[in-house]
Chain A
Amino acid sequence: MERPFAITLDVGSSRSNHTGSWRVERPVYVDRLPPCNNACPAGENIQGWLYEAESGNYEGAWRKLVEENPLPAIMGRICFHPCETACNRVQVDEAVGINAVERFLGDIAIEKGWTIPEAGVDTGKRILVVGAGPAGLSATYHLRRLGHQVRLVDSSAQLGGMMRYGIPAYRLPRAILDAEIARIIAMGVEVELNYVVHDIDKERKAGGFDAVFLAVGAQLGRRVSIPAGDSSRVIDAVSFLHQVADDDPPLLGRRVVVYGGGDTAFDAARTAKRLGATEAVIVYRRNRERMGAHSVELEQAEVEGITVRWLSTVNRFESEQMVLEKMRLNAEGFPEPTGEYEELDADALVLALGQDTDLSLLDQAKDVVVRNGVVEVEATMMTGENGVFAGGDVVPTDRTATIAVGHGKRAAFGIDAYVNGRDVPEKVRHDLATFERLNTWYYADAPRTKRPELERIRRQGTFDEVIGGLTEENALFEARRCLSCGNCFECDNCFGVCPDNAVIKLGPSQRYQFDYDFCKGCGICVKECPCGAIEMVPEKI
């Protein structure tokens, strides 16, 4: 080739200069565990389904959701969303309204008739599930997906356990409950209601079951001895709510006092109010800070006109007169009596002092360890007796429906491993995606005009149905507030900020790849990644 004067070499590209050799550290893409997923008792891949919802793919989002939890419309109403408490966005403005989006997805699925995955190929194994509450239903769902046959029995007349007999309909409409339960039963489940199991081992042997899942819940309302006249109406909250659920509410009169400070106390008081009580008063021996109920319950109860007598105990209840004793908290925060009394007019007293389990069906099962009224279980949810698993309120735990759903799932996998003579495979858990790893500069501030509306809708989330169109817009908006902590959401930042063009964009949902021939290891991509999904690791030299 003819070259110009004094030019001896052909023109070449700088790409022959592999600047990757300068590098002492290399960036690598990582996935981290988002705090919402980490906090979810039901083990949902929350970030995963929000990601689908962000692009308006609600069905894809719902399908991802029901991989883990078959009850999204129920959860979207009654879950106390520890995911939102853990949400990193709290430190930016407010948590993502995960619960509201979950409810939206659950409702739209019912509306459109989306079906949950079909049962797996029959394994020939038979499993007995005792108790059709959230734990039993969740276990049934996952066991059916794994191909095991399930016989589901419950002592009540209808399925749902505490979701039906403990949680009032204003928090969980029965049509929603029925729809989500029906989907599980439609997978092919042998159901027997009004059926009481008296001896678990005998039942297991007689039916030839390979394993048993015990999820009878905590159905016994705890009582305390309060001096009360014969004519005084005293009822425990569990029985009260159960009777209301059976459409046979007891007559309580106009002035109802509920004794206790947990969620059940608020359910009972709010239900009494809806049944026509003019006054519903909660009496609780500690203060607001030490209340067992979730604060949202208190807020909503106050809106409904329910009053709370903090630092008080019921001393006695005779002929429409209730005597309360004032309490004070000692240095350790325990309430102690003051000797001061006050009177309160009341027609009925509802005791919401906690619940106990009825474990008489375990009397003959000697290997099952029962301590403090609950059943000891391993990580797989198996009790001391081989093949007998337990979950939900009968094991030591916070008693919420979501935790029960998580137990049911874990037990299903535990049972699956047991009947196949395998160990449960250990799941690899990524490092937690902490707030410090995020570069929050890149996340837009949620437009201010949106917020009041949003909050209002969020508050409505646990009450009446929200208007359709608005709900979808809100759900989409909320989903898009997700920061995608710890997992790439394809914002192109690494691709854009590399001074050496050493990031290769692989295309939609394919993410990116580093070109280590040219990456000099400057680390800008790591620093500027909004969600903390890249980290620097030292090169081996």
Chain B
Amino acid sequence: MTTQPVHFYQIGSFAVGNRLVDDADRTVQSNANRTNSIDSGHRACQGCGEALGARYALDAAMRATGGKIVAVNATGCLEVFSTPYPETSWRIPWLHSLFGNAPAVATGVAAALRVKGKTDVRVVGQAGDGGTVDIGFGCLSGMFERNDDVLFICYDNEGYMNTGVQRSAATPPAARTATTEAVGPEPGNSFGQGKDVPRIAMAHDIPYVATATVADLHDLERKVERAMSMRGARYLHVFVPCPLGWGSASNETIHLARLAKETGLFPVFEAEHGVVTNVSTIRHQVPVEEYLKLQRRYAHLFGKNPRPDIIERLQLIADQNIARYGLVVDDDDSKEVTA
């Protein structure tokens, strides 16, 4: 008689929790006693992906370090909506830096802790995509180059949302922002510009670089845990949809993050010392339209004067990502492949 152990749970590993598995195997977020690093009452918009991403990442870091972290936060949405004087949403030691110098301040905190002999207290730097890929980029690169003992997390919502939705170097092509209007023959943000910071980080040969989305909590928490198990400069790039800046419905936040990954537009992977070690393959592949049409920042590609040519160029980007990281595997049962 052949018997196989039953490993199949009602909802596998995709939902936040599962009453059928042991507490130890559940996510940090499913725990009623999670830290809630960022507390209720913050002023983020309805359906904010960044508020969610920050709680996911920092709660996981809190668990991984036994509650011993200091967070350094660049100016930006996350800082503005969480700390209007004299209130704060932070339930962890938290330091506000300037817009551009969060990685350097984090380096300083790490150095101070080292001098004081508190090497068990770990440092997390965090910023939006503006503070990371544009304004704070020099400091970030320096932090990488010196291999300072900091996990730096970028919450990427693809623009300067706090100041009124201006373009950043993380804004995708064709997207409408206040500074890349949907006018002219090539409406929205231009093609061929912008920075792929996870790959730039990899080029520094730092111990750990990973990308994640708020749609896959298990993956995100695992990556934070992995990062906190290492020393030196580590970088986590978290994709966080922005209902305000993207013109999407507030309930679509997680759905959009999922579609970004499932289209191939946002590759989810991890790399150690400059080499890709894991990719999250696409589970149910969808064309980029499915993702684009839910966002008003791409409305000019649809409607009365549709631009299938531009959509095709965006699809090409997705296809290139799929090819580069091997995001589509024939055997859809295997979730991860080693690159």
Residues of A within 8 A of B (CB): 7, 9-19, 22, 54-55, 441-450, 453, 467, 469-470, 473, 476-477, 480-484, 489-493, 495-497, 499-502, 505, 507-508, 515, 517-518, 520-524, 526-528, 530
Contact = CB atoms under 8 A, between A and B. Distances in A.
Among all A-B residue pairs, the 10 with the closest Cβ atoms: A444-B12, A492-B17, A496-B16, A523-B251, A14-B41, A522-B47, A522-B46, A9-B86, A518-B40, A492-B30
10 contacts: A17-B41, A443-B11, A446-B8, A467-B1, A490-B19, A491-B19, A515-B40, A517-B40, A522-B251, A527-B251
Contacts of B42: 14, 17, 19, 500
B41 A18 contact: yes
B20 A15 contact: no
B258 A441 contact: yes
Nearest to B47: A522
B333 A444 contact: no
Contacts of B250: 520-524
B17 A443 contact: no
Given A521-B46, A524-B251, A526-B251, A473 B41 contact: no
A34 B45 CA distance: 35
- Chain B's interface size range is 35 or more
Contacts of B332: 445
Given A447-B8, A495-B32, A522-B251, 4 more contacts: A15-B40, A19-B42, A444-B8, A526-B251
Interface in B10-64: 10-20, 26-27, 29-30, 32, 36, 39-44, 46-49, 51-52, 55
A501 B87 contact: no
A217 to B, nearest CB: 40
B88 interface: yes
Nearest to A494: B16
**Residue among A442, A499, A507, A530 having the largest count of chain B Cβ atoms under 10 Å:** A499
A141 to B, nearest CB: 31
A473 B16 contact: no
Contacts of A491: 10-11, 15-19
Given A473-B4, A527-B252, A11 B39 contact: no
A528 B254 CA distance: 8
A22 B243 CA distance: 15
B49 A499 contact: yes
B17 A9 contact: no
B10 A482 contact: yes
B6 A476 contact: yes
A55 B86 contact: no
B19 A55 contact: yes
A189 to B, nearest CB: 40
Interface in B159-207: none
A19 B7 CA distance: 41
B229 interface: no
A15 B333 contact: no
A259 to B, nearest CB: 43
Interface in B276-323: 284
Contacts of A501: 36, 39-40, 55
A492 B9 CA distance: 14
Contacts of B253: 499, 522, 524
Nearest to A490: B19
B10 A480 contact: yes
Contacts of B47: 499, 520, 522-524
Contacts of B11: 442-444, 491, 530
A444 B9 contact: yes
A15 B38 CA distance: 11
A14 B44 CA distance: 12
Nearest to B14: A442
B79 to A, nearest CB: 13
A449 B331 CA distance: 12
Contact of A13 (B18, B48, B88, B243): B88
B3 interface: yes
A492 B10 contact: no
B82 A14 contact: yes
A492 B252 CA distance: 18
Given A496-B217, A524-B250, A480 B14 contact: no
Contacts of B17: 490-493, 495-496
Contacts of A497: 16, 52, 254
B19 A500 contact: no
Interface in B236-261: 243, 249-255, 258
Contacts of A500: 40, 42, 44, 51
Contacts of B5: 473
A109 to B, nearest CB: 21
Contacts of A17: 41-43, 87
B86 A444 contact: no
Given A499-B48, A500-B40, A522-B250, A54 B3 contact: no
A492 B41 contact: no
Contacts of A449: 4
B251 to A, nearest CB: 3
Contacts of B258: 441
Nearest to A15: B41
A419 to B, nearest CB: 43
Query: Which of A490, A502, A507, A520: most chain B Cβ within 10 A?
Result: A520
A469 B41 contact: no
Contact of B46 (A450, A484, A520): A520
B86 A10 contact: yes
Contacts of A523: 47, 249-251
A501 B42 CA distance: 10
A22 B284 CA distance: 35
B12 A443 contact: yes
Given A19-B40, A522-B250, A495 B16 contact: yes
A484 B10 contact: yes
B90 to A, nearest CB: 9
A428 to B, nearest CB: 26
Given A477-B6, A499-B49, A15 B16 contact: no
A473 B3 contact: yes
B10 A13 contact: no
A448 B4 CA distance: 13
A492 B88 contact: no
B89 interface: yes
A228 B32 CA distance: 79
Given A444-B9, A480-B6, A496-B27, A14 B252 contact: no
A481 B52 CA distance: 30
B6 A12 contact: no
Contacts of A446: 8
Nearest to A523: B251
A226 to B, nearest CB: 50
Nearest to A501: B40
Contacts of A527: 251-252, 254-255
B15 A530 contact: yes
A366 B16 CA distance: 64
A505 B258 CA distance: 25
Contacts of B52: 497, 499
A14 B1 contact: no
A496 B30 contact: yes
Contacts of B89: 13-14
A492 B3 CA distance: 31
Contacts of B217: 496
B39 A13 contact: yes
B13 A447 contact: no
Contacts of A505: 32
B9 A480 contact: yes
Nearest to B250: A522
A11 B84 CA distance: 10
A476 B4 CA distance: 12
